[in-house]
Structure 1
Amino acid sequence: MSVEPIGLVTLLIGLVCLLLGYRVAATTLVAAGLFGSAAAFIIGSANIQPGHMFLAFVALATLTRRREALAAMRALSPSEPGFWFACLVLYGLLTAYLLPRILAGATQIIPLGSTAFEDTGFTVPLSPVSSNFTQSVYMGANLLCFAMTVAIASTASGFRAILTGLMAFSVGNIIFALLDLGTYATGTQDLLGFMRNAQYTLHTDVEVSGMKRIVGSFTEASSFARSTLGILGLTGTLWLCAYKPVWTGTIALVSLALLILSTSSTGLVGAPIVLLLLYWTALGRSGVKSGGRYSSLAVLCAPPLAVALALILFIDPTTSAMIIDYVNLAVLDKATSDSGVERSSWNAVALQNFLDTWGIGVGLGTVRASSFLLALLANVGLPGAIFYGVFAATALLRSRGHTRSFPADIRLAARNACFGLILGDLLVSPVIDQGLFFYVLAGIASAMPERQASNDRFAPVGAAA
């Protein structure tokens, strides 16, 4: 095991947060999820990210408090979404250990975390792989993160602490994207080496027709675009709800611009869908007395703006041709590129793994795919997909409390952010681990701080920037 410099810094910050309290620790945990290309320490081939390391400090600070500990236990009760996620994790742990051994050789796989396929172009017979362990650890950490988020956000002050962390994550994502572009342009990429130390392939210096692919603090452009889709859904909804509109509106616009400039097909395909989701949200909120003016503005202005943009592109053939060429380069031509063909082969093999194992999967963390849905089916099969589907439906679609309140607006924003992340995962994710950012959002979407509102009041929804 080796401890990295960023791991020592994480350890120091964690100790300080223990002294400052669990709410500060919770805010820091959310922000720590930004470091997707960093390893706090390395155990064999396993990279433990700063966010996962920091989760231990949050659990220690939270579970030592009786009320929050009980809230964490309630989050895993059969009537709550956490129960179904716990079922998925438990089933995944069992499959990770048993299925690659019981079904050894039953199908040909592309192992997750292995370079064998890239080196030879051939699949290998099903057998246990090192990522069975690492993915089990990550999924266990996600379950702990979800339960801790629900517990902390069960009070108004904790709810706000998580929200502050989400805003810090959103701002940090923009800062790291600009640093990525700036250091690449000046040849000073080594300045970001402290957070690009994970022991797996990093695509941080890739160009497409002279344009830098934006990766920010993540491993590749698609991972950056996926997280930014979630941020667009979060901050765009917060702007529609009139929560700190100057800040949230600016973050949403800059995030949209970065998605367009990222050269990632995930961002270019996902951004219009997230914008449609935001428009649907605006339709539902327009005319609301409290904080509905921005939603009404969006409903009224979006169609004329779309028509004006279409007319400009129609009148100016040069600009239209540039945009078409860019879309062809980043999206349409991607399917026939070497990367696109390789990812398609991953999905084809993953689907065959699902069929060859009669729908039960080959075990958590065994194979890679290029879509969350196929990764889910191939690794944990139909039972795991059902557990995840019930979890997602109860966490993101079930009505909770008042529909016109500050907590309800934040839950709506978190839900839209989750949809953005799920969209990105469906397009490119090789694994079923959706990361701490997703499960923090799912946790706050499931939280009910209104139960404690008498002890800790919320500020009005339209809080000034």
Structure 2
Amino acid sequence: MQISFVGPLVCAGILLVGYYCRAPLIIGVIVSLAFGATALMTLSSLGGSSPLIYTFFAALLVTAVALRRQIWRDLGNVFGKIRAIWVLCSLMLYAIVGAWLFPRLFAGQISVFVQSPTRRGIVEASLAPVSGNITQTGYFVLGGLTTIALCVLLLHEDRIDAIRRGFFLWCGLHAGMGLLDLIGKHAGAGDILRPMRTASYAMLTEVTEGGFWRIAGAQSEASAFGGVSLVCLAFCYVYWRNTKSRLAQALSALLLVLLLLSTSSTAYVGLAILSIPVALSILHSFLSGRIEKGEILIIALLALAAVTALSIALYKEEFFAPFVHLIDSMVLNKASSASGQERLYWNIKSLQAFVDTSGLGVGIGSSRASSWPIAVASQLGLVGGLMMATLSFMVFRGMGSLKRYVDPETNTVVSSVRACALASVVSGSLAGGSSDPGMIFFIALAVISASRARARSERYAAKHDLPLGQPPFAARLLKAPEKLPPVGRATSTLEASRGA
């Protein structure tokens, strides 16, 4: 085991910021996601795995919640109010059992793609237990435990402000380090964030595509940076549309520019997919005659960009040649490239593994795919896939009809976090290699589930004309005291029997 010096230093800085914001653990888990290539240590016994710093904060959060004085009562409250936690625990148990059993049950019978233990890269090999079964399962279980721990904290006290601050700090750090990376490369300084990249991944940070520098920020490559930018953009955009926040508006604009300059095909395709509901929303507002200023601003900026591009093209026809070449190589012809063909073959082999195991799966961490849904099917099988689909539906549903029972700020934060999680699902569906949906998904599941549980309590209180925040059991006692056995009647009966 080799300890990294930069990793603990970054963790200390995040803890100081979280302590200043009066929520070091919640903010620490979220903000640490900005450092996607900074590891705490390298575990040589597990094939050189290097846990990123977010695992430290997640483990710290779970430990702190587990040491609470009334933890069993808090857990009973969570499991009693949030049905999604039962599905999550069942999925974690299935993932643990499957990661140990399936690679041994189908050993040597199936061909899969795995990380090479001797060199950096993905190789095709016969199914067998690998170190990824331990590490990937550990990350998955840690994410599930983080969901439970966050539900305990969010049900016990209203901490939605800490969630909001954490997400804005994460988006700001990610955008700031991306901007630094871009400026450093164009200034000739190269990869100025190299000291922060302590993970044992292959770092593709000083690469050009079509004459453009590929932005990596604090991530390991441009594709990862583009995926995170897409997720952060979803959060900031939804928050800006709901609150007209100048900070969210500025971050949205900066993240959009960085995303377009990232030269990431995942980011471009993901942006096109996420633009569909935005366009439909603007069209609905226009047809209903209730178009807002923000929507007018978006239409005006798009029109201005189109007119400007057309004017430049008429003045200097070859100006956009590098951009056209970039889009052509990174998006239009990506599937026919060597990398695209290789990733397509990964997905075909993963689907074949699902069929060859009769829908049981090969176990989490046993294979590598290039799409999150395909990875879920091949690793977790039909049973695990159904449970994952259930959790995904709960995230997709969001607050639903319960949003009227929470304050506007809570509803805005929950909607923004939900959009963030859905963007991460879109990004993972385009290039995700593991069945683990990622920490953002688990955080969003906790925020949405806990907010729905609190909203249900408020709905019950409003329905029965009780004080807001009153627990349902206590509410029933306050609403129908006549059903309780009167103390005086028992005493009178006892005295009457004695007299008789």
Question: Would the TM-score normalized by the shorter structure come out above 0.5?
Answer: yes
Alignment check: 8 A CA contact 2:91 2:384 kept: yes
% identical equivalent positions = 25
- Partners of 1:79 and 1:237 lie apart in 2 by 26
Report what 1:461 is aligned to.
Answer: none
- Partners of 1:302 and 1:91 lie apart in 2 by 46
SS at match of 1:200: coil
SS at match of 2:159: helix
Q: What is the Cα deviation at residue 439 of structure 1?
A: 2.1
RMSD after superposition:
3.2
SS at match of 2:42: strand
Amino acid across the alignment from 1:339: S
Alignment check: 8 A CA contact 2:120 2:202 kept: no
Query: Cα distance 1:69–1:239, how it changes in 2: closer, same or farther (>3 A)?
Result: farther
- Partners of 2:52 and 2:273 lie apart in 1 by 30
Report what 1:5 is aligned to.
Answer: 5
- Partners of 1:230 and 1:427 lie apart in 2 by 13
Amino acid across the alignment from 1:435: G
Which moved further from structure 2: 59-68 or 361-370? 59-68
Report what 2:106 is aligned to.
Answer: 103
Report what 2:255 is aligned to.
Answer: 255
Indicate which of 410, 434, 447 corresponds to 2:437: 434
Which moved further from structure 2: 268-277 or 375-384? 268-277
Which moved further from structure 2: 37-46 or 333-342? 333-342
Over alpha carbons, which structure has the higher Rg? 2
**2:49 is aligned with 1:53:** no
Q: How does 1:272-287 map to 2 (within 5 A)?
A: 272-280=272-280
Amino acid across the alignment from 1:199: S
Alignment check: 8 A CA contact 2:82 2:450 kept: no
Report what 1:199 is aligned to.
Answer: 200
**2:336 is aligned with 1:340:** no
Report what 1:423 is aligned to.
Answer: 426
Report what 1:152 is aligned to.
Answer: 153
Alignment check: 8 A CA contact 2:18 2:28 kept: no
CA offset digits 1:411-431 (Å, max 9, x no partner): 111111111111110100111
- Partners of 1:394 and 1:145 lie apart in 2 by 17
Q: What is the Cα deviation at residue 267 of structure 1?
A: 1.1
- Partners of 2:246 and 2:166 lie apart in 1 by 18
Q: What is the Cα deviation at residue 71 of structure 1?
A: 4.9
CA offset digits 1:346-397 (Å, max 9, x no partner): 1121111112111111110010011111111111111111111101112331
Report what 1:407 is aligned to.
Answer: 410
**2:390 is aligned with 1:387:** no
Q: How does 1:171-250 map to 2 (within 5 A)?
A: 171-186=172-187, 188-189=189-190, 191-242=192-243, 245-250=245-250
Query: Cα distance 1:280–1:125, how it changes in 2: closer, same or farther (>3 A)?
Result: same
- Partners of 1:19 and 1:428 lie apart in 2 by 35
**2:89 is aligned with 1:93:** no
CA offset digits 1:218-239 (Å, max 9, x no partner): 1111111111111111100000
SS at match of 1:402: helix
Amino acid across the alignment from 1:217: A
Q: What is the Cα deviation at residue 253 of structure 1?
A: 0.9
Alignment check: 8 A CA contact 2:210 2:325 kept: no
Amino acid across the alignment from 2:267: G
Q: What is the Cα deviation at residue 47 of structure 1?
A: 1.2
Report what 2:38 is aligned to.
Answer: 38
Alignment check: 8 A CA contact 2:181 2:192 kept: no
- Partners of 1:340 and 1:231 lie apart in 2 by 26
Report what 1:359 is aligned to.
Answer: 359
TM-score normalised by structure 2 residue count: 0.80
Report what 1:463 is aligned to.
Answer: none
Q: What is the Cα deviation at residue 115 of structure 1?
A: 6.3
Alignment check: 8 A CA contact 1:228 1:259 kept: yes
- Partners of 2:303 and 2:18 lie apart in 1 by 53
- Partners of 1:159 and 1:212 lie apart in 2 by 38
Query: Cα distance 1:282–1:185, how it changes in 2: closer, same or farther (>3 A)?
Result: same
Which moved further from structure 2: 317-326 or 100-109? 317-326
SS at match of 1:111: strand
Alignment check: 8 A CA contact 1:214 1:221 kept: yes
- Partners of 1:165 and 1:117 lie apart in 2 by 34
SS at match of 1:218: coil
Amino acid across the alignment from 2:247: W
Alignment check: 8 A CA contact 1:106 1:357 kept: no
Alignment check: 8 A CA contact 1:334 1:340 kept: yes
CA offset digits 1:17-57 (Å, max 9, x no partner): 99889722211221011111111022222211111012222
Alignment check: 8 A CA contact 2:6 2:198 kept: no
Amino acid across the alignment from 1:420: A
- Partners of 2:85 and 2:341 lie apart in 1 by 37
SS at match of 2:366: coil
- Partners of 2:333 and 2:118 lie apart in 1 by 25
Query: Cα distance 1:212–1:33, how it changes in 2: closer, same or farther (>3 A)?
Result: same
Q: What is the Cα deviation at residue 333 of structure 1?
A: 2.5
Report what 1:298 is aligned to.
Answer: 294
TM-score normalised by structure 1 residue count: 0.86
- Partners of 2:111 and 2:419 lie apart in 1 by 37
Report what 1:290 is aligned to.
Answer: none
Alignment check: 8 A CA contact 1:350 1:374 kept: yes
Amino acid across the alignment from 1:297: K
Report what 1:161 is aligned to.
Answer: 162
